[in-house]
Chain A
């Protein structure tokens, strides 16, 4: 069974530029998560989808971050404009449903300079 796929693996951008990350969850997984992990900290939930609906986005900085999950499968996370403090690893995870075990992709390491 294929795991969670994320791209790109690495991205370096200048502040005020925009960037997008892509995630393809494990087949059949209804719940999809985007986490931000800053070095030395635990993953911080940005947004959680159940199929194509949003379960929680209370920690998503909506003035600059947006996310969508079209057709309840793939998802994209966008940052526009980026700030220096957005430098982090962005992790996508998926699970069969709410409260089920979640599995992570390899992450995208973003550096904003």
Chain B
């Protein structure tokens, strides 16, 4: 079992729709969770961090964490073509290391 799992996609949504990205992790001792956006040829860029169960909203982005289910998600409302990128889930594990999933490619169709 991979430590951090994401659906590789691609996930295709029309402009203006909600994009839902999911991530599961294996280490129950994990405490910090992050979403990064990566455009082709660029470095990962931090979008959101979440540390406790529930929802955290920042503009068009909402991160959701459920530690009991070992599940973290990212919702992007009013998706724009500029949101087309690979979205990476990162987890700070109980072993104190920060590891990444393989990423989900998102395409927003104009």
Interfacial residues, chain A to chain B (CB-CB below 8 A):
33, 35, 41-45, 48, 50, 55-56, 91, 95, 98-107
Interfacial residues, chain B to chain A (CB-CB below 8 A):
4, 6, 31-32, 34, 43-46, 49, 88, 90, 92, 95-103
Q: How many A-B residue pairs have CB under 8 A?
A: 53
B99 with A107: CB separation less than 8 A = no
Supposing A42-B101, A43-B100, A48-B97 touch, asked if A101 and B34 sit within 8 A by C-beta, the answer is: yes
Supposing A91-B43, A100-B32 touch, asked if A43 and B97 sit within 8 A by C-beta, the answer is: no
Supposing A99-B31, A99-B32, A101-B34 touch, asked if A43 and B44 sit within 8 A by C-beta, the answer is: yes
CA distance A89 to B4 in the complex (A): 20
- Which residues of B lie under 8 Å from residue A35 when comparing CB positions? 100
CA distance A42 to B5 in the complex (A): 10
CA distance A106 to B31 in the complex (A): 27
B97 with A45: CB separation less than 8 A = yes
Supposing A101-B46, A104-B43, A104-B44 touch, asked if A45 and B99 sit within 8 A by C-beta, the answer is: yes
B32 with A103: CB separation less than 8 A = no
**Chain A CB within 10 A, most for which of B4, B45, B90, B101:** B90
